[in-house]
Amino acid sequence: MSSVDFQLPPRFRFHSTDEELVKHYLCQKCASQPISVLIIGEIDLYKYDPRELPGLALYGEKEWYFFSPRDRKYPNSSRPNRAAGSGYWKATGVDKPIGHPKSLGIKKALVFYAGKAPRDEKTNWILHEYRLADVDRSPRKKNSLRIDGLAHGSVGGS
């Protein structure tokens, strides 16, 4: 378990729903509003192999949460660059809208593949990426690689 620089109440558990994660953490972070308990670290998770992430987390034993910027794969595209460490995160399944009746965010599942195609190898690491819904992801500045505010993910695996 990672150490934190603050005191949490005894027996504290972080088990937020998808809607709570988007509404109370991601929306707050993207709006530059304060978050009551700072247990979600901010890193560029795409610079690391998944096995390095637990040591970078502020909190968590089997799941870890991070705010992370997302970059574009190409300057004039909204396609995200998911290369990470010695491999890449590959999207799987369908996007899940979060929020009712109006969708606040989108949840996407990704699996880590070690190496590069066609000689890559699927691993047991899973990332759940959360992003805000209805955000303009078109390039605002010429040659800008930043897509949108922040992605929020939890990673688990072996």
Q: Is the pLDDT at 25 greater than 50, yes or no?
A: yes
HSE (side-chain half, CA atoms, 13 Å) at 95: 11
DSSP-assigned states of every residue in 79-143: PBP-EETTEEEEEEEEEEEESSSS--EEEEEEEEEES-TTS-EEEEEEEEEEEESS---S-SSTT
- Beta partners for residue 83, in sequence order: 88
The confidence score (pLDDT) of residue 151 equals: 44
pTM of the full predicted structure? 0.78
pLDDT tens by residue, 74-127: 777 777 888 898 999 999 999 999 988 889 999 999 999 999 988 999 999 999
Q: What superfamily in CATH does domain 18-156 come from?
A: NAC domain (2.170.150.80)
Give the model confidence (pLDDT) of 26-39 as tens digits: 888 888 888 877 78
The residue-averaged pLDDT of 51-79 equals: 82
Give the dihedral of Cα atoms 90, 154, 123, 89; nearest 10 deg: 20
pLDDT given for residue 111 in this prediction: 94
pLDDT over 70 at 2, yes or no: no
- pLDDT score recorded for residue 136: 56
Token pair belonging to 28 = 């707050």
Measured between alpha carbons, how far is 68 from 49 in angstroms, rounded to an integer?
A: 14
Domain boundaries, the chain: 18-156
Report the alpha-carbon distance of residue 77 to residue 83 in Å, rounded.
16
